């Protein structure tokens, strides 16, 4: 019926029917209304089509095109027209079977013309091999959200609910149809299929939204790429507070030592591994075993130290040793993370109270690598001299401690100390201080003497109390104090400094926070010299 709305009252609407000139009150959600009726019919029709498609698992192929399909079996095409038409016959609706995999399908939409039905082939039970994947190279997808790269190559990230608690779970569906329920199954599948995708492109965190992107509401200043093309991903810069641009900095994605810094990066001095499984077994990888051995410096050896599926859940004080150029593993190695550089979309922005800051445009998983802290590698004296030139109105001081106390006045906000040795030694001192001597009181001595006297009378000997008494040693017999490890290098340098004030990367824009979501980790990549670790940042939550 053709009708017109005359009046509304809460959830009721008064309709005027023009054909018989009458009015009637109708509920707004009634299916008598045409839009709601069409939505209900289309929903039922869609459910029927889905059920029908699920039942068609092995359709019968017409004999006319069977030979053609067999001849084209080795072709790379993904679509086959499974109907034949005799000469002179009228065109009939054909069925087009499409595999939803491959780069071509991910980057293009499939349009169905009139008279065509597009169905998806359901996978049959099979043993996964290299044939399950085709052309999944993440290097071709630079600039995109890392967690969406598998989805662009035919993977599916499904969010399910598990009964009875109705807890949400993440399940990945491979292009061949196999469902993978946890990160270990993903790792095994990538190894079997020899995929170019790395394990850190997948996340089973149900709180992550891989298809959302942060877009600033208003911007007065906008820079497309602050790194001038030196990073794997462009670093955008926006200012929504005022119209100021960040100060010019010579961008460098690696550290640059000064002439007085003897940084030896000769690969012949590095420990290397001969793993052929991309270091999936940490017990056989020499580099990962070196990381595990280093944990004994501050306590018991931790056999699980290091990366887990290319992610780091918490900081490791004794550092991490990554694989290097001499190792037999390739770029997909589970022990090569920081050396690959930036792998997410970051943005420099102006904050209201703390100057410039750094944020991520996409959700990132806990333990993901963010970036390194790069700049000029200086000695402590050079760091003082550089800042003395910019501040000539104060008396020079030799120690770098001067910048620690008066950083706000003289500008040391971009100085980072490479104090890996001191941090480990402090942790070791704290571990050894837990072992304290036991004091023996007079009452305990009397009890011990009484027990021994009674045992003499009975001519039986029994030890009731055993004490370890620590007696003070003489001055000559006392142990010598342990020398600091840095003294063995004999380079007359208290601590090397990374200065990112005039030269550095995006790590210089990370702000201090009382509730941080990023932690710092020392990593050894191009050298195993304890004085020169890489300073890296990781997602803490």
Give pLDDT tens digits for 430-442: 655 544 444 444 4
CA distance 148 to 239: 27
Please say whether the beta carbons of 309 and 366 come within 8 A: no
Query: How far apart, in Å, are the Cα atoms of 313 and each of 208, 273, 276, 300, 358?
Result: 16, 24, 26, 19, 21
Of 151, 169, 201, the residue that ends a domain is: 201
197 φ/ψ angles, rounded to the nearest 5 degrees: -75, 145
163 lies in the same domain as 226: no
188 lies in the same domain as 245: no
* pTM (whole model) above 0.75: no
367 lies in the same domain as 252: yes
CA distance 83 to 287: 58
How many residues can be counted in the chain?
541
182 lies in the same domain as 250: no
Residue 114 falls inside a structural domain? no
Please say whether the beta carbons of 375 and 503 come within 8 A: yes
Q: Report how many helices (DSSP H) and strands (DSSP E) the chain contains, helices first.
A: 11, 22
Please say whether the beta carbons of 344 and 364 come within 8 A: yes
CA distance 449 to 442: 11
**Domain harbouring 347, CATH code:** 2.170.270.10
272 lies in the same domain as 368: yes
- Burial label for 215, CB within 10 Å (0-12, 13-18, 19+), is exposed
Residue 44 falls inside a structural domain? yes
Collapse the DSSP code of 216 into the 3-class scheme (helix H, G, I; strand E, B; otherwise coil) and give the result.
coil
CA distance 335 to 429: 30
Q: What confidence score (pLDDT) does residue 338 get?
A: 94
**Domain harbouring 37, CATH code:** 2.30.30.140
Please say whether the beta carbons of 309 and 322 come within 8 A: no
Collapse the DSSP code of 524 into the 3-class scheme (helix H, G, I; strand E, B; otherwise coil) and give the result.
strand
User: Token digits for 165?
Assistant: 């608690």
Q: What confidence score (pLDDT) does residue 407 get?
A: 37
For 92-120, give one letter per residue: b (16+ CB within 10 A) or e.
eeeebbebebbbebbeeeeeeeeeeeeee
User: Token digits for 316?
Assistant: 């490791």
Please say whether the beta carbons of 28 and 36 come within 8 A: no
**Neighbouring C-alpha atoms within 13 Å toward the C-beta of 92:** 10
Residue 383 falls inside a structural domain? no
Residue 22 falls inside a structural domain? yes
Q: What confidence score (pLDDT) does residue 390 get?
A: 56
Residue 100 falls inside a structural domain? no
Residue 145 falls inside a structural domain? yes
- Burial label for 55, CB within 10 Å (0-12, 13-18, 19+), is exposed
Nearest C-alpha neighbor of 178 from the set 127, 130, 137 = 127
Please say whether the beta carbons of 200 and 310 come within 8 A: yes
CA 519-522-523 angle, to 5 degrees, is: 125
Range of the domain at 21: 3-53
197 lies in the same domain as 225: no
277 lies in the same domain as 190: no
CA distance 293 to 296: 6
Cα Rg, the chain, nearest whole Å? 34
> What tens digit of pLDDT does each residue of 221-261 get?
889 999 988 999 999 999 988 888 988 889 999 999 988 88
Do the bridges between strand 236-239 and strand 346-350 make them parallel or antiparallel, or are there none, so unpaired?
parallel
372 lies in the same domain as 515: yes
Domain count across the chain:
3
Of 53, 72, 94, the residue that ends a domain is: 53
309 lies in the same domain as 229: yes
176 lies in the same domain as 236: no
Residue 527 falls inside a structural domain? yes
194 lies in the same domain as 235: no
313 lies in the same domain as 237: yes
pLDDT in tens, the chain (541 residues): 678 888 888 888 888 888 888 888 888 778 778 887 787 777 666 655 554 544 433 334 344 444 443 444 444 444 444 444 444 444 444 444 444 444 434 433 333 334 444 444 456 788 888 888 888 888 888 889 999 999 999 899 998 887 777 788 899 999 888 999 999 999 999 999 999 999 999 999 988 988 888 888 888 888 999 998 899 999 999 998 888 898 888 999 999 998 888 888 888 888 899 999 999 999 999 999 999 999 988 888 999 999 999 999 999 999 999 999 999 999 999 999 999 999 999 999 998 888 899 999 999 999 999 999 999 898 888 887 766 655 544 443 333 333 333 334 345 678 888 888 888 888 877 655 544 444 444 444 444 444 444 444 444 444 444 444 455 555 444 445 667 776 667 666 778 888 888 889 999 998 878 888 999 999 999 999 888 999 999 999 8
Q: What confidence score (pLDDT) does residue 423 get?
A: 83
User: Token digits for 261?
Assistant: 């810094």
Please say whether the beta carbons of 330 and 278 come within 8 A: yes
**Domain harbouring 171, CATH code:** 3.30.890
Residue 415 falls inside a structural domain? no
Q: What confidence score (pLDDT) does residue 5 get?
A: 85
- The residue assigned the tokens 């402590």 is 380
Query: Cβ–Cβ contacts within 10 Å for residue 151, how many?
Result: 17
């Amino acid at each position: 019926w053709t009708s017109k709305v005359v009046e509304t009252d809460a959830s009721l609407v008064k309709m005027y029917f023009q054909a018989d000139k009458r009015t009637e009150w109708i509920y707004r959600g009634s299916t008598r209304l045409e839009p709601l009726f069409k939505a209900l019919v289309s929903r039922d029709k869609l459910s029927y089509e889905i059920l029908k498609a699920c039942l068609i698992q092995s359709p019968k192929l017409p004999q006319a095109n069977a030979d053609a399909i067999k001849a084209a079996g080795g072709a790379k095409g993904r679509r086959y027209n499974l109907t034949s038409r005799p000469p002179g016959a009228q065109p009939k609706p054909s069925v087009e079977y499409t595999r939803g995999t491959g780069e071509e399908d991910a980057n293009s939409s499939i349009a169905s013309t009139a008279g065509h039905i597009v169905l998806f082939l359901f996978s049959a039970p099979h043993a996964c091999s290299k044939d399950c994947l085709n052309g999944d190279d993440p290097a071709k997808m630079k600039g995109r959200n890392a967690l969406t790269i598998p989805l662009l190559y035919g993977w599916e990230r499904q969010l399910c609910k598990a009964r009875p608690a109705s807890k949400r779970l993440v399940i990945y569906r491979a292009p061949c149809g196999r469902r993978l329920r946890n990160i270990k199954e993903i790792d095994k599948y990538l190894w079997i299929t020899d995929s170019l995708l790395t394990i850190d492109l997948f996340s089973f965190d149900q709180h992550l939204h891989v298809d959302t992107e942060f877009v600033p509401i208003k911007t007065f200043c906008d820079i497309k790429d602050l790194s001038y093309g030196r990073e794997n991903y462009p670093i955008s810069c926006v200012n929504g507070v005022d119209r100021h641009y960040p100060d010019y900095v010579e961008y460098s994605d690696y550290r640059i030592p000064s002439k007085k810094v003897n940084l030896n990066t000769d690969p012949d001095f590095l420990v290397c591994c001969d793993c052929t499984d991309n270091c999936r077994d940490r017990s056989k990888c020499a580099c990962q075993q070196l990381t595990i051995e280093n944990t004994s410096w501050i306590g018991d050896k931790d056999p699980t130290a290091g990366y887990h599926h290319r992610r780091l859940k918490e900081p490791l004080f004794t550092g991490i040793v990554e694989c290097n150029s001499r190792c037999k593993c390739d770029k997909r190695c589970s022990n090569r993370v920081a050396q690959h550089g930036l792998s997410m979309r970051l943005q420099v922005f102006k904050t209201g109270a703390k100057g410039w800051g750094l944020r991520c445009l996409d959700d990132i998983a806990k333990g993901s690598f963010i970036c390194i802290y790069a700049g000029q590698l200086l000695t402590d004296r050079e760091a003082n001299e550089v800042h003395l030139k910019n501040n000539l109105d104060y008396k020079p001081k030799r120690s770098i401690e001067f910048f620690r106390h008066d950083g706000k006045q003289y500008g040391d906000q971009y100085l980072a100390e490479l104090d890996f040795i001191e941090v480990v030694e402090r942790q070791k001192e704290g571990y050894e201080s837990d072992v304290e001597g036991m004091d023996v009181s007079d009452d305990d001595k009397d009890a011990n003497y009484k027990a021994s006297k009674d045992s003499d009378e009975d001519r039986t000997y029994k030890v009731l109390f055993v004490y370890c008494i620590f007696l003070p040693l003489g001055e000559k017999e006392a142990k010598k104090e342990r020398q600091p490890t840095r003294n063995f290098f004999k380079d007359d340098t208290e601590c090397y400094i990374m200065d990112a004030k005039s030269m550095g990367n995006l790590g210089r824009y990370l702000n201090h926070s009382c509730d941080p979501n990023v932690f710092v980790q020392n990593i050894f990549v191009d050298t195993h010299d304890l004085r020169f670790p890489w300073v890296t940042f990781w997602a803490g939550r």
